[in-house]
Structures are given as C-alpha cells and as structure tokens.
C-alpha cells in the first residue's frame, strides 16, 4: 500500500507517492516542513532546513576495492564531476558559524552513465531521531517562546526526557565544538545503505568522508571570539591554495548490526576500506552557483547502491521535495 501527498505551490501540482510505513500515520512531510517554517521563519526562495550554506565543485575518483561490493559507476576509477553544498542545520539563514549544531555536506555526482548519485551527510556519526515523529517533536520543542524570542528550556527538557533516540546526537553536539572550516570536518552518511555487486551480491554498508586536512574543532576560547561568518571565506581561501580532499571510507555491516535505525552506531571493530577520494577544487557563495537549485534528495542513487528500509531515509525524500517545490516557486 502507498500513501500519496499532494502539494500545490506557485501553480505547480506535485504528487508524492511513498510506501506506507507505520510512521506515515504519525506525521507527514508537509507537517514537518510546516514546523520548520514555524520555528525558524521562512526565507522566501530558500531551503527550509540547512538554509545557510555555500556551493563548491570538484571530482571524485573511486578505488578498485569498492568494485568487489558495488557496480556503481562511481568506482570505475575515472574522475566523476561533483557539485557540493556545505551548510549549517536549521532554517535560520543568519545562524552564527559557532552554533553547536550539525554541519552538512551534500554531494551530487554526475555518473559516467549519465545518471546521478547523491550523498547528503552530516558531521555527526548518528542522527537525532529514529523515526520522523521525533524530528517533528524536536522542531516543535525549539519554537521560540513569544515572551523571550528563544526556545523554552522546559519544553526542550521535556522533549529530551520523552525522546531517548535524540540523546546520542545531542550529546555528541554538546561534547564537540564545531569545526573552524568545512575542510576540517568528517561527514557521515549515517544511514545504512546496500552495496550491490555486478553479480547481485548485497552488502550492508555505512560510509563517511574523512578530511585529509585533519579533523579540527574550535577551542572554547575561539568559540567566544570568532565572527558570525567564517566558514564560507575559510573554504574559499583553502580551495584557492589547492584541492581539499576527503577519503571515502566504507564500513561493512555484519549480521545483527542495526540496519534501519540511524541513531545507533555499529560496533567499532567492523571491517573498513577506502572507496575513493573526493577533491573539492573551487568554493563559492551559493547565489547563482550550481548547488543552489539542486534538491539533494538522498534517495537519488545510481545502480550498485540502494536504500535500506530506514524510515528516516524514506521520509527525507518527500520532506526535501516539499521544501524544494516551495523554494523553486519563490515561496
Ligand atoms: C526526519 C528527518 C529529516 C528531515 C525531515 C529533513 C528535512 C530537510 C529539509 C526540508 C531540507 C531542505 C531541502 C531542500 O530544500 O533542498 C534538508 C536539507 C538537508 N538535510 Fe535533512 N532532513 C532529515 C534528516 C536528515 C539526515 C538524517 C541527514 C544526514 C544524514 C540530513 C542532512 C541534510 C543536509 C546535509 C541538508 C542540506 C542539503 C543541501 O545542501 O541542499 N537530513 N533536510
């Protein structure tokens, strides 16, 4: 059975059809986008989440090790062009770059077979919601109190007490200051995906991108003194000196590892291999640049890579589509 959602925006009628999981009864993608709008306000024509961001371009070269597991044209060893967007989570376009929130790296690979592959990642190893309802409840709990203009601490506390699936990511963000540059951040795919080999063998994997510039975080002192906007100039300056590279590392799942819960880590001793190198060669403000009008829907995948039944992964697609349709309509 499928559920269908219809969205009318700026004269466009969009019909979204998705599998009916239990969570579909709880909260819908348009409700979540509505909650983001209510909490953060609307910046017309801009993303409803990860509103503050910048564009970049580069290429990805896959390693032959990945070909044993995936027939994706990403791993043929040829350079694959990439359009990237780096961002801060939340819908505030003026959020300071010192905010202790997640940073994003979204990649669109132009595959040699003419297809596209997306990877839309965060710099936290886990997500803060096992089901869409938790994400919705978090955004609602963050709504500014009309008296103070800030989130009500009692509502945040009540949210955390009633949603243990949020705590892993919340604790990670509290314990780790944000990076001084996107070039010094690792980014995690978080969900479990399937790699499918040429012979049809399915392997459960998780991936992350680890910066060759090294992982760094701001000191508590730097957190107090940094200006509101340093991430964009830092990446533009860094790419001016030469390519910024990340190793794509793939972890192989074993029987019993969580497949459908993006809040749960896998045991640390799982086998890993390097699947390729991402090189970002140019960075620029997003206005008019290539990433601005891309919907980095994580379910856009070429052959050789497929989704698991993670309810968060499936929910992202219609939520991004609602946000995308609105911003493309100038709303
Ligand atoms: C219930 C779960 C989630 C919801 C409802 C949600 C919602 C959204 C929305 C509405 C956007 C803006 C889309 C656009 O206008 O193009 C967005 C962007 C983004 N999300 Fe999510 N998201 C969720 C989970 C995640 C997860 C698990 C990750 C990482 C693994 C993630 C990473 C990102 C990133 C990096 C962007 C910015 C993409 C860009 O630069 O265009 N999100 N999200």
Question: What is residue 241's predicted lDDT score, i.e. its pLDDT?
Answer: 98
For the chain, the domains span 50-312
What's domain 50-312's architecture?
Beta Barrel (2.40)
The pLDDT of residue 194 is above 50: yes
DSSP helix/strand/coil, 272 = strand
**Ligand 1 pocket, residue 50 CB under 6 Å:** yes
The structure tokens listed for 14 are: 């969009």
DSSP helix/strand/coil, 320 = helix
Q: 90 C-alpha to center of ligand 1: Å? A: 9
**Ligand 1 pocket, residue 315 CB under 6 Å:** yes
Shortest-distance atom of ligand 1 to CA 322:
10
C-alpha 122/C-alpha 17 separation (Å) is 26
Beta-bridge partner residues of 116 = 110
- For residue 250, give the H/E element and its range: strand 244-252
**Ligand 1 pocket, residue 195 CB under 6 Å:** no
Q: Atom 6 in ligand 1: which residue has the minimum CA distance?
A: 316
Beta-bridge partner residues of 8 = 13
DSSP string, 105-120: EEEEEE-TTS-EEEEE
50 labelled catalytic: yes
Question: What is residue 26's predicted lDDT score, i.e. its pLDDT?
Answer: 86
Task: Convert the pLDDT of each residue in 115-157 to its tens digit.
Answer: 999 999 999 999 999 999 999 999 999 999 999 999 999 999 9
Mutate which of 120, 129, 165, 168 for ligand 1 pocket (most atoms within 8 A of beta carbon): 120
pTM, 2 dp: 0.94
Buried b (16+ CB within 10 A) or exposed e, 18-41: beebebbeebbbbbbbebbbebbe
* Residue 252 vs residues 57, 69, 206: alpha-carbon distances, Å: 29, 10, 7
Task: Convert the pLDDT of each residue in 238-252 to its tens digit.
Answer: 999 999 999 999 999
Among residues 110, 56, 116, 57, the alpha carbon closest in space to that of 87 is found at 56
Mean pLDDT of the chain: 94
The pLDDT of residue 1 is above 60: no
DSSP string, 184-224: G--EE--S-EEEE-TT--EEEEEEEEEETT------HHHHH
Shortest-distance atom of ligand 1 to CA 324:
15
C-alpha 126/C-alpha 310 separation (Å) is 13
The pLDDT of residue 284 is above 90: yes
Question: What is residue 214's predicted lDDT score, i.e. its pLDDT?
Answer: 99
């Amino acid at each position: 059975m499928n559920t269908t959602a219809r969205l009318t925006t700026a004269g466009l009628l969009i019909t979204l059809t998705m599998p009916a999981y239990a969570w579909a009864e709880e909260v819908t993608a348009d409700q979540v986008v509505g909650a983001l709008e209510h909490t953060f306000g609307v910046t017309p024509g801009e993303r409803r989440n990860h509103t503050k961001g910048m564009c970049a371009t580069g290429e990805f070269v896959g390693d032959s090790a990945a070909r044993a597991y995936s027939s994706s044209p990403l791993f043929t060893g040829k350079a694959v062009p990439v359009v990237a967007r780096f961002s801060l989570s939340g819908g505030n376009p003026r959020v300071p770059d010192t905010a202790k929130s997640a940073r994003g790296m979204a990649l669109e690979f132009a595959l040699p077979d003419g297809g596209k592959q997306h990877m839309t990642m965060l710099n936290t190893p886990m997500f803060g919601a096992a089901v869409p309802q938790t994400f919705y409840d978090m955004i609602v709990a963050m709504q500014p109190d009309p008296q103070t203009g800030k989130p009500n601490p009692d509502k945040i506390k009540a949210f955390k007490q009633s949603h243990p699936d949020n705590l892993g990511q919340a604790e990670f963000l509290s314990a780790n200051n944000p990076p001084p540059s996107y070039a010094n951040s690792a980014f995690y795919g978080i969900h479990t995906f399937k790699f499918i080999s040429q012979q049809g063998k399915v392997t459960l994997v998780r991936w992350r991108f680890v910066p060759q510039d090294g992982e760094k975080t701001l000191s508590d002192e730097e957190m107090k003194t940094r200006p509101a906007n340093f991430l964009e100039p830092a990446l533009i300056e860094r790419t001016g000196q030469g390519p910024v590279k990340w190793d794509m590392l793939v972890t192989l799942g074993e029987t019993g590892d969580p497949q459908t819960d993006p809040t749960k880590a896998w045991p640390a001793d799982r086998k890993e291999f390097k699947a390729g190198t991402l090189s970002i060669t140019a960075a620029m403000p997003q206005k008019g640049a290539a990433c601005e009008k891309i919907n980095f829907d994580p379910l856009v995948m070429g052959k050789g890579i497929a989704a698991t039944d993670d309810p968060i992964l499936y929910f992202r697609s219609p939520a991004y589509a609602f946000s995308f349709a609105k911003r493309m309509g100038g709303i």
